[in-house]
Amino acid sequence: MGAERTDDSAAARRAALLSRLETVALEAEALKRVVALVPDEVLSGRPVPEEPSIKELYGRLVDLDERAYLPALGMEAAGVSAGGTPGKGPSEVPWDSQEIHGILDRLVKARMRLLSALADASEADWRRKYRVSDHDVSLYELADIILLKDLDILRSVGERLYSARLGGRPHRRME
């Protein structure tokens, strides 16, 4: 009975992690409908030169999925070399010159491929260690890392959109 409960608990944890990871793909898909309303100067603009643009922030999510997470699982994103390690050098893609819909499409494809690999992994696979950016982590730990990185990047996107004052009307803080 104890092993059965542990298996159920592990399966429930994996399902919860996969559901949360899928949120980025669903969000990117939903954004396609409204992103056309955001001027390109907002999407490509930088508040200060060393800060990434909104396009680069979404591109960072693509880079992480394609250049770190998929290669760690022994996979490469379709048509993408796994040559780089996130955080070590700039992206190979000039994200600001890309159309936002293309970036979001690529993000959805990379994330869905990652989700498929994680969903197909056995419990033993979830427990074994994988090499990601100079660290050995289990798939449980990797999923947590991905979720935290997603949250950090998406928070930056939200802050950038909030500060853009779209529509020319001042923002009111909700209290």
Q: Element (H or E) spanning 115, and its range?
A: helix 100-120
Can you tell me the distance from the alpha carbon of 35 to that of 90, in angstroms, rounded to the nearest whole number?
25
| 3-state SS assignment for residue 48 | coil
Q: What is the predicted pLDDT for the residue at 74?
A: 85
Q: How many CB atoms lie within 10 A of CB 78?
A: 11
Q: Which pair of tokens denotes residue 153? A: 């990047």
Residue ranges per structural domain of the chain? 2-166
| 142-162 confidence digits (pLDDT tens) | 999 999 999 999 999 988 888
Which residues fall within 8 angstroms of residue 61, CB to CB, at 6 or more apart?
A: 24, 107, 111, 150, 153
| 96-125 confidence digits (pLDDT tens) | 999 999 999 999 999 999 999 999 999 999
Q: Which pair of tokens denotes residue 1? A: 């009975």
Residue 52 phi/psi, 5° resolution?
-75, 155
Divide the 175 residues of the chain into consecutive groups of 10 and give the mean pLDDT of each group: 64 94 90 85 90 95 93 67 43 88 95 94 92 88 95 92 69 49
Its pTM surpasses 0.85: no
Q: Element (H or E) spanning 2, and its range?
A: helix 2-34
The answer to whether 91 touches 60, Cβ cutoff 8 Å, is yes
Can you tell me the distance from the alpha carbon of 144 to that of 125, in angstroms, rounded to the nearest whole number?
16
Residue 85 phi/psi, 5° resolution?
-120, 125
Write the CATH number of the domain with boundaries 2-166.
1.20.120.450
Which residues fall within 8 angstroms of residue 137, CB to CB, at 6 or more apart?
A: 129, 130, 145
